[in-house]
Structure 1
């Protein structure tokens, strides 16, 4: 009989993604009491009880602030996200934000709407009023300006390349840029060696970094002050990476021209120089489909094969299945002699290793091993008894 995996779906997950999960293998539902997997978007898991049955969590999106990543990692539960799946959608919104700010389009549209409403009441000459008032919204063109891109991941690289093609000089900063992203980055994008240099040389700043301790308040008063007058800050990353009070003070003084962001706040959204959007970064049908497909595929591959792709709390570990073998997945602390103890337990059980891979990430590691023969419960118990093993499961 084929083993089935109950998957709890939270939020509205794109049907395109859900279709990737074979209903003969996966039971999907919103009220599953003992799920093997959780598939979600923005649902908050921080206060939710985590059942012992849970093997993995997959988020159809990039950010994982709504998930207790460290707590789940300590229990051997990988958390998957979908970096790059919504990259084009966010890139387009960033470019739109640049144009909104440079040409004052947001406030100009509000002005026009007000004129039309006034004309309906007063019977005024709309054409004359438009011509008389448009000067206050005169903006500037993008070519010749400098855009600083902080974070050169999937989104940052797309933004940098698109901005460069629009005629901007583009500076990029990311000390952890991957080889893959470096190959994708336009050779005309200049990579700088510090955030301070990027601020000092940029007319516009766009952020594409996660919200972690190191990035909280990344845009602060000192860095804003180093920008040339009339600068623009674009934040489509996370609200907390910007010191909003410092931004508002710079807007009030005229040092900043505009702040465009996707994270409305009571203080910032009413400011006349702030353009606050209702978290639209990934709000396209295409992005939702892409994120759901990627999350579903990663969850399925982990549950069926033990492979880990795009986990935020465990290393990338992918190994092809060896025909005629049984697979084990083992989470353990990253410390000496763990592999030796695991292989010793396999040898004691009389099992020959066909394939074996182990990778670490920080303080944790993950092992996939294909063995020739049937794995008994006693072997799993002996592996779990090893000091430092977090979790072990027989796969498939």
Structure 2
């Protein structure tokens, strides 16, 4: 057993591994790292959702195997959410599957629809599962520079023209992780029209549908007439209700695609623990003030970070949505890779971020900053960065030695 397994060989080294190792070592040595790396919500789950979990877990029989596609009440709750939020009618029996988070849904959809050698169009940069779920399934990936305009759509068209075999599916992710780009309904209308013309499946990731900071809630691709003929959308309760560890998400849309996903899942799992599903239904059906409060918390953190980092010497563009800032590496450090810059921030400023390269080659030159620390900690990070930037010339001299002049 010398040779590496086939699927493992297709996975590159984990870009975040070295940064995570440095972070762990620094903490072990006593450093107080302000961790703005992983998008792991730090806020508590709303109490009424926790109460429903506690109530349900104490009932007889709820410890038994659950339903792989989700209990009926949960699927009805998701259908009701889509109806009131997007005006989209979904059949809970045939057009909705509950997933173990949107990540699992994406990965198992890839297993369900992909044959070895199929071509999938994936924006770059993007969330890693959008690419690697299909790579694990044996597909070939063709990257399209991420965007929400005409250039993106024309790039999709060129990719279909010049790919053999013709691509099977197009991945969309808006609001975007990591770039925080947002798309409007007009974009989705053009994307759906193009996908129908090119015979493409659309797989839309809408995990950040409720984390937005202006008066325009992000739309769903399924709002476009006819989109259900070709599209499936993935959502998650992780960010909306501060439920990341509960692993609760959904795939909704085209009946044939949802049926394929449900069939694959029936062989792989029995669904989430029933009390979690009951509590998730309570989240969707219950009072929604908590969603607005969570959104406002992220907005305050965003504003605090943009303002305090600017004073420290790092201009971070304010994201219109998501819990992330997508920030260009500051000018004095632009000769460094995003991985090396991220490592330097841990070593010299006790601040952790995610290197842009981890989200695709076009993410190089950027880092992703997660809004997962409170304002006090964000300002602490800004003070550390200001001291670090003040020593930038000396730091860069040590990191990248200046070539010596040749001597005779």
User: What's the TM-score once normalised by structure 2's chain length?
Assistant: 0.28
Which structure would you say has the larger Rg?
Answer: 1
Q: Which has the higher contact order (CA 8 A, sep 6+)?
A: 2
1 or 2, which has the higher helix percentage?
A: 2
User: What's the TM-score once normalised by structure 1's chain length?
Assistant: 0.28
